[in-house]
Amino acid sequence: MSTINETIEAEDDATRRDFLHVAAAGMAGVGAVMAAWPFIDQMNPAADTLALASVEVDLSAIGEGEAVVIKWRGKPVFVRHRTQAEIEEARAVPVASLIDKQTDEERVQEGHADWLVVMGVCTHLGCVPLGTKTGDERGEYGGWFCPCHGSHYDTAGRIRKGPAPKNLEVPTYTFLSDSTLQIG
Protein backbone atom coordinates (compact mmCIF):
# COMPACT_ATOMS: atom_id res chain seq x y z
CA MET A 1 0.00 0.00 0.00
CA SER A 2 2.84 2.36 0.78
CA THR A 3 4.17 1.88 -2.75
CA ILE A 4 0.86 3.02 -4.22
CA ASN A 5 0.80 6.07 -1.94
CA GLU A 6 4.41 6.93 -2.81
CA THR A 7 3.60 6.60 -6.52
CA ILE A 8 0.55 8.86 -6.18
CA GLU A 9 2.58 11.43 -4.19
CA ALA A 10 5.36 11.33 -6.80
CA GLU A 11 2.82 11.89 -9.59
CA ASP A 12 1.26 14.79 -7.65
CA ASP A 13 4.73 16.31 -7.15
CA ALA A 14 5.48 15.96 -10.89
CA THR A 15 2.14 17.54 -11.79
CA ARG A 16 2.79 20.46 -9.41
CA ARG A 17 6.31 20.89 -10.79
CA ASP A 18 4.98 20.87 -14.38
CA PHE A 19 2.35 23.45 -13.44
CA LEU A 20 4.96 25.66 -11.74
CA HIS A 21 7.25 25.42 -14.80
CA VAL A 22 4.43 26.31 -17.20
CA ALA A 23 3.22 29.16 -14.97
CA ALA A 24 6.76 30.55 -14.57
CA ALA A 25 7.40 30.36 -18.33
CA GLY A 26 4.04 32.02 -19.02
CA MET A 27 4.76 34.84 -16.59
CA ALA A 28 8.23 35.31 -18.10
CA GLY A 29 6.65 35.55 -21.59
CA VAL A 30 4.10 38.11 -20.40
CA GLY A 31 6.89 40.09 -18.71
CA ALA A 32 8.99 40.07 -21.89
CA VAL A 33 6.06 41.36 -23.96
CA MET A 34 5.31 44.07 -21.39
CA ALA A 35 8.97 45.14 -21.38
CA ALA A 36 9.19 45.16 -25.19
CA TRP A 37 5.91 47.05 -25.78
CA PRO A 38 7.28 50.60 -25.23
CA PHE A 39 10.05 49.93 -27.76
CA ILE A 40 7.61 48.57 -30.33
CA ASP A 41 5.06 51.36 -29.71
CA GLN A 42 7.63 54.13 -30.24
CA MET A 43 8.03 52.95 -33.87
CA ASN A 44 4.48 54.03 -34.72
CA PRO A 45 4.12 57.35 -36.56
CA ALA A 46 3.70 60.44 -34.42
CA ALA A 47 0.27 62.07 -34.11
CA ASP A 48 1.34 65.08 -36.20
CA THR A 49 2.46 62.75 -39.00
CA LEU A 50 -0.82 60.85 -38.93
CA ALA A 51 -2.70 64.14 -39.12
CA LEU A 52 -0.95 64.86 -42.43
CA ALA A 53 -1.61 61.38 -43.84
CA SER A 54 -4.26 62.80 -46.14
CA VAL A 55 -5.50 66.22 -47.13
CA GLU A 56 -8.67 67.33 -48.92
CA VAL A 57 -8.59 69.98 -51.65
CA ASP A 58 -11.57 72.10 -52.71
CA LEU A 59 -11.35 72.07 -56.50
CA SER A 60 -14.15 74.60 -57.02
CA ALA A 61 -11.76 77.40 -56.05
CA ILE A 62 -9.29 76.54 -58.85
CA GLY A 63 -10.19 78.06 -62.21
CA GLU A 64 -9.33 76.47 -65.54
CA GLY A 65 -5.68 77.09 -66.38
CA GLU A 66 -4.82 77.79 -62.73
CA ALA A 67 -2.78 75.79 -60.25
CA VAL A 68 -2.40 75.71 -56.48
CA VAL A 69 0.24 74.40 -54.12
CA ILE A 70 -0.95 72.16 -51.28
CA LYS A 71 1.32 71.07 -48.45
CA TRP A 72 1.11 67.32 -47.83
CA ARG A 73 3.50 65.39 -45.58
CA GLY A 74 5.72 68.45 -45.47
CA LYS A 75 6.14 68.59 -49.25
CA PRO A 76 4.46 70.74 -51.90
CA VAL A 77 1.87 69.15 -54.19
CA PHE A 78 0.84 70.93 -57.39
CA VAL A 79 -2.84 70.67 -58.36
CA ARG A 80 -3.45 72.10 -61.84
CA HIS A 81 -6.80 72.54 -63.58
CA ARG A 82 -5.62 72.01 -67.13
CA THR A 83 -7.22 73.59 -70.17
CA GLN A 84 -8.30 71.50 -73.14
CA ALA A 85 -5.36 72.93 -75.11
CA GLU A 86 -2.90 71.77 -72.40
CA ILE A 87 -4.42 68.27 -72.41
CA GLU A 88 -4.25 68.02 -76.21
CA GLU A 89 -0.68 69.31 -76.22
CA ALA A 90 0.37 66.75 -73.58
CA ARG A 91 -1.30 63.87 -75.45
CA ALA A 92 0.25 64.87 -78.79
CA VAL A 93 3.81 64.31 -77.53
CA PRO A 94 5.38 61.10 -78.91
CA VAL A 95 6.25 58.93 -75.90
CA ALA A 96 9.49 57.79 -77.58
CA SER A 97 10.79 61.38 -77.39
CA LEU A 98 10.43 61.52 -73.59
CA ILE A 99 13.24 60.99 -71.08
CA ASP A 100 10.93 59.15 -68.63
CA LYS A 101 8.43 57.47 -70.95
CA GLN A 102 4.88 57.94 -69.64
CA THR A 103 1.74 58.89 -71.48
CA ASP A 104 -0.50 61.68 -70.26
CA GLU A 105 -3.25 59.12 -69.61
CA GLU A 106 -0.97 57.25 -67.16
CA ARG A 107 -0.46 60.43 -65.13
CA VAL A 108 -4.11 61.44 -64.63
CA GLN A 109 -7.20 59.55 -63.52
CA GLU A 110 -9.70 58.39 -66.10
CA GLY A 111 -12.57 60.83 -66.43
CA HIS A 112 -10.55 63.61 -64.78
CA ALA A 113 -7.97 64.47 -67.44
CA ASP A 114 -8.41 68.16 -66.67
CA TRP A 115 -6.90 67.69 -63.18
CA LEU A 116 -3.18 67.00 -62.83
CA VAL A 117 -1.82 66.25 -59.36
CA VAL A 118 1.98 65.98 -58.96
CA MET A 119 4.53 66.32 -56.19
CA GLY A 120 6.15 69.75 -56.42
CA VAL A 121 9.68 68.45 -55.98
CA CYS A 122 12.18 68.38 -58.85
CA THR A 123 13.49 64.87 -59.38
CA HIS A 124 17.03 66.13 -59.90
CA LEU A 125 18.00 67.53 -56.50
CA GLY A 126 14.70 68.28 -54.77
CA CYS A 127 14.15 71.97 -55.58
CA VAL A 128 10.60 73.32 -55.96
CA PRO A 129 9.88 74.14 -59.62
CA LEU A 130 8.16 77.36 -60.69
CA GLY A 131 4.92 77.40 -62.68
CA THR A 132 1.99 77.40 -60.27
CA LYS A 133 1.66 81.16 -59.77
CA THR A 134 0.57 83.66 -62.38
CA GLY A 135 3.67 85.16 -63.96
CA ASP A 136 5.97 82.26 -62.99
CA GLU A 137 8.42 80.95 -65.56
CA ARG A 138 6.90 77.71 -66.88
CA GLY A 139 9.76 76.59 -69.07
CA GLU A 140 9.81 75.77 -72.75
CA TYR A 141 6.95 73.27 -72.51
CA GLY A 142 4.39 75.29 -70.54
CA GLY A 143 4.47 73.17 -67.39
CA TRP A 144 7.05 73.84 -64.70
CA PHE A 145 10.59 75.13 -64.67
CA CYS A 146 13.16 74.32 -61.99
CA PRO A 147 15.37 77.39 -61.54
CA CYS A 148 18.06 75.50 -59.61
CA HIS A 149 19.48 73.52 -62.54
CA GLY A 150 17.19 74.24 -65.48
CA SER A 151 14.85 71.24 -65.72
CA HIS A 152 11.78 71.82 -67.93
CA TYR A 153 8.54 69.89 -67.33
CA ASP A 154 5.52 69.81 -69.64
CA THR A 155 1.81 70.22 -68.79
CA ALA A 156 1.67 66.57 -67.70
CA GLY A 157 4.60 67.01 -65.29
CA ARG A 158 6.94 64.99 -67.52
CA ILE A 159 10.61 65.91 -67.76
CA ARG A 160 11.38 67.25 -71.23
CA LYS A 161 14.73 69.01 -70.87
CA GLY A 162 17.43 69.36 -68.22
CA PRO A 163 19.23 67.18 -65.71
CA ALA A 164 16.17 65.71 -63.94
CA PRO A 165 16.01 61.95 -64.59
CA LYS A 166 12.32 61.33 -63.83
CA ASN A 167 8.91 62.92 -64.24
CA LEU A 168 7.34 64.77 -61.32
CA GLU A 169 5.92 62.09 -59.04
CA VAL A 170 2.15 61.52 -59.00
CA PRO A 171 0.97 60.95 -55.40
CA THR A 172 -1.91 58.71 -54.40
CA TYR A 173 -5.15 60.65 -54.74
CA THR A 174 -8.88 60.07 -55.18
CA PHE A 175 -11.83 62.21 -56.15
CA LEU A 176 -14.36 62.28 -53.31
CA SER A 177 -16.72 64.28 -55.51
CA ASP A 178 -16.47 66.48 -58.61
CA SER A 179 -15.32 69.36 -56.42
CA THR A 180 -13.26 67.58 -53.73
CA LEU A 181 -9.95 65.78 -54.08
CA GLN A 182 -8.24 63.74 -51.36
CA ILE A 183 -4.46 63.38 -51.51
CA GLY A 184 -3.07 60.46 -49.55
Helix (H, G, I), strand (E, B) or coil at 152: strand
Report whether 54 contacts 45 (CB < 8 A). no
Sequence spans of domains, the chain: 1-44, 49-183
The model's pLDDT over 44-103, given as tens digits with 9 standing for 90+, comes to: 777 766 666 788 888 888 888 899 999 988 899 999 999 999 999 999 999 999 988 899
Q: What is the CATH number of domain 49-183?
A: 2.102.10.10
Non-local (6+) Cβ contacts of 129 within 8 A are 120, 122, 144, 145, 146, 147, 151, 153, 168
* CA 176/CA 174 separation, integer angstroms: 6
pTM of the entire predicted model: 0.70
Residue from 21, 124, 149, 152 carrying the catalytic annotation: 149
Pick from 5-19, 46-60, 168-182 the range whose average pLDDT is largest: 168-182
Q: Quick check: is 149 catalytic?
A: yes
